[in-house]
Structure 1
Amino acid sequence: MNSIEKRAIGSIGGIFALRMIGLFMIVPVFSVYGSNYAHATPFLIGLAVGIYGLGQAIFQIPMSMAADKFPRKPMIFFGLLLFAIGGIVAATATDIYGVIIGRALAGSGAVSGVMMALLADVTREQQRTKAMATMGLTIATSIMLSFALGPMMVASVGMSGLFWLTAGFAVLAMLLLLLVPTPVRVLKHNLDNKSIGAQLKEVLAIADLNRLHFGIFALHLTMTAIFVIVPHQLGEVLGLELRQQGLVYLPLLFVGFAIAIPFIIIAEKKQKMRQVFLSAIAVMVAALLSLTVGSQYGIGLILGLGLYFIGFNLLEATIPSWISKKAPVANKATAMGINSSSQFLGAFFGGALGGMLLNQGVMLSWGLLGGVMALALLLILPIAQPPYLTSTTMAIPKQADLSAWSQQVMGVDGVDEVVVMPKDGVAYLKLDKQKLTDNSRQLLSQLNQTKLDI
């Protein structure tokens, strides 16, 4: 990776981490501490956990579609501002309805898809899976870390303190956004002339993208439901107090990482993404079904959760990369937005479902979640391997007219996308080598003012 990619991954990863920790610190403790709010019921407690996902699901798509037409960074800043305001509203709430409103407001700052699209803009194709896998692992690490931090901190700062931390993390994320490179995209087709309906229709017509959207929906539905249910089970089966439960989550996370990383490398290097992806879903189905029969015992509960985390890490790492490869170049943020919308819609239904399952038997709870993942496996099974393109870096000539030069590059056969970073003096080209000719390579070398090895 070059210095621009490292800076982008570090900054965007930091933004994701701060948002996820702020969001998920609440999840493992709210099913217990949420009952202290006025008017709280099991359903409303689950709704307060999941309502953030509903806000994200509603606003991800319009914000991401707009980000395909307008600069991405200002939209991310606006989303982080809403996230901070929502945290403040929840922190000052005295009843469960105030918490629900705050969480819903925070959820309206729906910029996960925009951030993934921005990351795709500033990373080369051959580094894309590594970058997206880093984001996926960052998200998974942040979630697990938040599950450890929330129980440890809630006794001293209370639920209000956790919500104040959420707002503070959002402000820090705004500062990190300043470090992210600011790209200028150059496309073959002018998206400004497309209606919103046509833009959305083009993305929704791609069957494999829809399969990925359902996959992320099922993943986050089960994950959110699990962490509404699991705190009570860890207390009943292992006798762990809430503040001790992070000692279970973190080792499982690290073991899951150690097992998942080699398969992520295989998925990209050996072009086996489909096989790894479907295997990960199958592992999650097996994990949830094993919890159906074995979660009443300590070893069964730990092994089942460990298997689930392995599959979770694999899907979190591969889905964003797959979306970036398969999505139309001009509608990349729209595709990412639909996927993020599906993700958070799953979190919403998972929170509500987890609340309803709190008073149900464990076999019914785990069996139902296992059925959701089994359905996902059946629906996703026909998916094809993603396209494997490549990228190269070109130096921008010092005296060049940037607009004219980038349009010249874009007009070369085999060039699908150009992302220009004027401050850094470089441009990334997304290439389809099957369409490149000797003449194309010669033209690109002339525009680069030195021979390109492509």
Structure 2
Amino acid sequence: MTSKSAFPFLLIYMFLAMLGIGLVIPILPELLKEFGANGKAAGYLVSAFGLTQFLFSPIAGYFSDRYGRKPMIVIGLCMFAISNLVAATAGHFSFLVAARLIGGMGSAALVPSIMAYIVDITTEQQRTRAMSFLGASMSSGFIIGPGLGGFLAEFGTRAPFFVSAGIGMVAVVCSTLLLTESQSIEIRLMRLHSNPKRENIFLQLAQSVRSRYFILLFMIFALTFGLAHFEAIFPLFVTQSYGFTIREISVLFMVCSLIGTFNQVMLTSRLIQRFGEKPIISSMLLLSAVSLVFLLFSGNFFYVMVITMFFFTFNNILRPAINTLLSKEAGDEQGFVSGLNNAYMSLGQIFGPILAGLLFDIHINLPYLFGAFVLLVSTFVSVKWLRSSSGAIYQENKVLEVSK
């Protein structure tokens, strides 16, 4: 298999990584009942995945640059399979949390390596479309997870984990046998012997604030925070507010994710080619915020489905637009910057569910109002950044005209 023919497999691997994040959400009430745990424990369980993903993402991105993309992808898939197997056989709540921590480590190894692999095998002209497909696999996995978990739970609470573990093992075998390395031996040897100094994750985050791509990383955080915030509390919200059943929630997630993914594949490249990444980012952030507020207006099942479909569509278009700009800013450090990308995404996955749970206990509508607020602030930040970037380009063009 050539590097370019590996693209469909990379999309599948990314889908699996994101699938593991949301798989636990619809079966969470039954798992808590089984282990006698409370609501606070539920927040920790959902956020545990993001915690280790956050801590290990930059390290994995660094190793991806030095040792190659394929080893990290295989390691990530192995940990994904192990985490689901541990969850499927857990006899105590602590083992369930441990499984989520292992899953986060696997995602940290997998996600930045896949993103860097795609950058390696695409030209700048191809990258927008490639990132659109990658964003579709990420978003659909993150969103389909709860729906699939709800359907499989009808065969038993642990059934989703057993099925995911089996699929993960098949992916490990396929990636080991079929996937080729996207980086040449010369590049890997050069990076292996260059031995650049890397700070720990917290110093990297502090330094990223001053980097040229910080605004993009902040938007990755806001996007993921909004989606995790939405998803973590959604089953409780629609159950208590509108009386939805678990089956209705599963159907809603599955249908909306499929429509949102289809809209992303069909619309993202066209919209970016016509308007550019920056206006699309600002628009999608604003529309995502508005859709969260509109979710509070009615409990009609089809109304909720339409609003949720719009929210997923806006998020699905937003992610590849940000990733494309980030890859352009990354230069020769694709693996490292992809690791930071994953770290900011992990922060959203950590704080989104925790804050959603705390706000839900105060008032049932607060999680979505606060999520909308975060997305709205991000919209203003992106608009200001867009204007400042446009101004810098204008000044540069004026200098060039004068020099001529």
TM-score (norm 1): 0.76
Structure 1 residue aligned with 2:13: 15
Distance 1:384 1:4 in 2: 38
- 1:28 aligned counterpart, secondary structure: coil
Q: Secondary structure at the match of 1:344?
A: helix
Whether the 8 Å CA contact 2:293–2:369 is kept in 1: the answer is yes
Is 2:244 the partner of 1:228? no
Structure 1 pair 172–360 and aligned structure 2 pair: CA distance change class (3 A): farther
Displacement, 1:213? Answer: 1.4
- Structure 2: stretches of 5+ with no match in the other structure: 390-404
Change (3 A) 1:107 1:232: same
| 2:319 matches 1:316 | yes
Cα–Cα, structure 1 residues 364 and 200, in superposed 2: closer, same or farther, change >3 Å? closer
Give 2:121's aligned residue.
Answer: 122
Among residues 22, 47, 51, which one is paired with 1:24 in the alignment? Answer: 22
- Map 1:289-300 → 2, pairs under 5 A: 289-291=293-295, 293-296=296-299, 298=301
- Residue identity over aligned pairs, in percent, reads 23
Match of 2:398 in 1: none
The answer to whether the 8 Å contact 1:200/1:334 transfers is no
Task: Give, in whole Å, the separation in 2 of the partners of 1:269 and 1:378.
Answer: 23
- The offset of 1:384, in angstroms, is 5.0
Once the two structures are overlaid, the 10-residue window that deviates more, 268-277 or 251-260, is: 251-260
Alignment-mate amino acid for residue 117 of structure 2 = L
Assess, with a 3 A threshold, how the Cα gap between structure 1 residues 206 and 165 changes in structure 2: closer, same or farther. Answer: farther
Paired residues for 1:207-226 under 5 Å: 207-226=211-230
Query: CA offsets per residue over residues 366-422 of structure 1, 9 Å max, x none?
Result: 11111111222233334359x9xxxxxxxxxxxxxxxxxxxxxxxxxxxxxxxxxxx
Given candidates 64, 89, 95, the residue that maps to 1:98 is 95
Going from structure 1 to structure 2, the CA distance change for 1:205 and 1:4 (only over 3 Å counts) comes to farther
Task: Report matched runs for 1:233-252 at 5 Å.
Answer: 233-252=237-256
Asked if structure 1 preserves the Cα contact closer than 8 Å seen for 2:55 and 2:343, the reply is: yes
8 Å contact 1:203–1:334 — kept in the other structure? Answer: no
Task: Indicate the SS of the match to 1:104.
Answer: helix
> How far apart are the structure 1 equivalents of 2:188 and 2:3?
24
Partner of 1:325: 328
Structure 1 residue 33 corresponds to structure 2 residue 30 = yes
Contact 1:4 1:122 in 2 (8 A): no
1:9 maps to a residue whose letter is: F
Larger mean CA deviation between 375-384 and 41-50 belongs to 375-384
Higher helix share: 2
Of 79, 84, 109, which residue of structure 1 is paired with 2:81?
84
Q: Identify unmatched segments of 5+ residues in structure 1.
A: 388-454
The CA deviation at 1:281 is 0.4
Hey, which of these two has a bigger chunk of strand by percent?
1
Structure 1 Cα separation of the partners of residues 51 and 23 of structure 2: 18
TM-score normalized by the length of structure 2: 0.84
Give the Å deviation of 1:282: 0.7
Deviation at 1:234? Answer: 2.9
Aligned to 2:365, what secondary structure does the other structure show?
A: helix
Cα RMSD after superposing both structures: 2.9
Instruction: Provide the C-alpha distance between the structure 1 equivalents of 2:12 and 2:370, rounded to a whole number of angstroms.
Output: 35
CA distance in 1 between partners of 2:236 and 2:101 (Å): 25
Alignment of 1:328-343 (within 5 A): 328-329=331-332, 331-343=333-345
Q: CA deviation at 1:231?
A: 1.4
Contact 1:45 1:96 in 2 (8 A): no
Identify if the C-alpha distance between structure 1 residues 228 and 281 changes in structure 2 by more than 3 Å, giving closer, same or farther. Answer: same
The number of residue pairs the alignment matches comes to: 380
What's the offset of the Cα at 1:130? Answer: 1.1
Equivalent residue number for residue 166 of structure 2: 168
Task: State the partner residue of 2:392.
Answer: none
Q: CA 1:202–1:43 in structure 2 vs 1: closer, same or farther (change >3 Å)?
A: closer
Change (3 A) 1:46 1:205: closer
CA deviations 1:238-277 (Å, max 9, x no partner) are: 5432023222223323443454445412344336111111
Shift of 1:4: 4.7
The match for 2:369 is: 367
Shift in alpha-carbon separation, 1:34–1:326, aligned structure 2, 3 A: same
CA separation of 1:193 and 1:230: change in aligned 2, threshold 3 A: closer
Matches for 1:343-358 after TM superposition, within 5 Å: 343-358=345-360
Matches within 5 A, 1:42-191: 42-109=39-106, 110-111=108-109, 112-158=111-157, 160-177=158-175, 178-185=177-184, 191=191
Q: Contact (CA 8 Å) 1:91, 1:163: kept in 2 or not?
A: yes
Instruction: Give the CA deviation at 1:332.
Output: 0.8
**Does the Cα contact within 8 Å between 1:256 and 1:310 map onto a contact in 2?**
yes
The answer to which of 353-362 and 10-19 deviates more is 353-362
Amino acid paired to 2:70: K
Q: Distance in 2 between the 1:89 and 1:302 partners?
A: 34
Contact 1:67 1:114 in 2 (8 A): yes
Partner AA of 1:116 in structure 2: M
